[in-house]
Structure 1
C-alpha cells in the first residue's frame, strides 16, 4: 500500500464520528444465529472491537458474561454510551487494545477488521485472548443478487468509487488455528429514510465533497422512490479462529 493509499484509508477510517447519528439509524443489527456461531456460549468476557454505536454489542450480553466495547472514535463512543449506557466502552484500536494479557474469552470485530493493520492487530488480539479463546470477524453485506440492491451498488460505485474491501482474513495465521467461515442470509426491515442514513454513514460517502455527496444521495433517493423497498436483504459473512496454546 502506498503512502497516499494509507492516508486515504486513515481519512476514511477516522470519518465515522461525523456521521454517528446516521450510522445508528441506518446500520443493521446482526442476526442472532450469526452471533451464536461467532461467540462460544461459555465465553464469560467478550470484547467488541471497533464497536461503533454498538450494533453488534447489544447482541452479546448473556447471563454471567462481561461485555466490553473498544472504539477509537470519540463521536461513536458518545453515541454508543447514549444507546448502551450500562456497557463499558474504551478508547482503543485493533493495534492497541486497552486490556490486560490473557483476559478475554472471545474478541469479535464487526464491520471493522478491514481497517486494521494485521501485522500489529493479529498479535494484539492474541495477546488479550486466553489460550483457546476465539477471534470472530463479521460483515453485513448487501445482497446484490436482488436487482434494486445491485442498482444501489452501481450508484455507489459510480458516484463514490465504493471500494472492494480487503477483509484481510487470510492474514490471521499463527498463533491462530484454522479459519472457519459461515454465511447467513436474512432481510432487515428498513424505511427509505433508514436506507438513506445507511448510505450516508459509509466512509466513502462521508468523505465526498459536498456537491458529489448531494448528487449521490439524490440518485439514491430517486431509486428508492421508484422501487419503494420495505427491507434490505443481507448476507452476513462470518469468520472465526481459535488461539492455540501459548
Structure 2
C-alpha cells in the first residue's frame, strides 16, 4: 500500500460511520427487497458506499481523488465478496459525473455537497438520475448538547456552532421536489488513540504551533470518557436531507 493510500485509510478510520438507518432514509426508505442503482458522490474512502452495498444496492463511488478511491478499494477487500462486488469506482466531480443519462436511481452526497458548484452539480445530478430518482445530502456534526463535547470544542478552538447545511442545498431547481430534513444521532466508537488521531486530522488542530500540547489535552479529556470496553463514544448529530424528482411515485416515509 502506498503512503498516500495508507494516509487515506487512516482518514477513513477516523471518521464517523454511516449507519444503516441513516443511509436507508437518505435513499428514500425503499422496501428492503428493492435494489437501487446508487451513485455515492464525493465518496472519499467509501464508508457510505459500503453501507449502501450492505443494504443490497449497487454503488458507483465517484471521487476526484485517485488515492481516496484506492483506499476505498483496499477497504472493500475486507467485505464479503458478494457485497464488495456491488461497488465500482470512478474518478469524477459533481459537475462532470461519469454516468449515463438516467442510469442512477439515487445519489448520496455525504459530507461533500458544500464543495460543489451548486447550479452545475444539480443539473448533472438530474441528468444522471432515472425518472423519479432521489438526491440526498448529509453531514455529521458534533452533538454540543453533551458537556464534554463542548469542552473538546474549547480545547481545540472550535467553539463556534456551525450553521445549518440546509443553506447549501439546490432549492428551487426545476425538476427537483422539496427537500425533507431529518436528524439522526450516532455514537462514534473510538479507542483513546483513535480519538487523538481524529483530533490531529482536523486541520485547525494539525496546523497549530502548539499542536502537541493541544493533543495532550485532548487525550486527557478522552481518557475520562473511556468506558469498560476500552472505547469512548463521541456523540454526533447527522443532518440529513433528501428530495425526489417530480415524476417519482414517492415512497412512504418511515
The answer to whether the aligner puts 1:75 opposite 2:67 as a matched pair is yes
Tell me the distance in 2 between the aligned counterparts of 1:106 and 1:80. 20
3-state DSSP of counterpart to 2:216: helix
Deviates more, 1:108-117 or 1:16-25: 16-25
TM-score after normalising by structure 1:
0.81
Q: Where does residue 111 of structure 1 map in the other structure?
A: 111
Deviates more, 1:101-110 or 1:193-202: 193-202
Tell me the distance in 2 between the aligned counterparts of 1:165 and 1:76. 27
The structure whose Rg is larger is: 2
Unaligned runs of 5+ in 2: 78-83, 249-254
Give the Å deviation of 1:89: 1.1
Q: Where does residue 162 of structure 2 map in the other structure?
A: 164
Question: Counting helix residues as a fraction of each chain, which structure ranks higher?
Answer: 1
Map Cα deviations across residues 173-200 of structure 1 (whole Å, 9 max, x no partner): 2131111001112313211122123223
TM-score after normalising by structure 2:
0.78
Give the Å deviation of 1:223: 2.2
Give the Å deviation of 1:166: 6.4
Q: Where does residue 225 of structure 1 map in the other structure?
A: 223
Does structure 1 retain, via aligned residues, the 8 Å contact 2:35–2:56? no
CA RMSD of aligned residues (A): 2.7
2:17 to 29, 44, 50: 29
Distance 1:65 1:217, change over 3 A: same
Tell me the distance in 1 between the aligned counterparts of 2:203 and 2:95. 20
Tell me the distance in 2 between the aligned counterparts of 1:47 and 1:108. 6
Distance 1:35 1:76, change over 3 A: same
Does structure 2 retain, via aligned residues, the 8 Å contact 1:69–1:88? yes
Distance 1:88 1:137, change over 3 A: same
Q: Where does residue 178 of structure 1 map in the other structure?
A: 178
Higher relative contact order (CA 8 A, sep 6+): 1
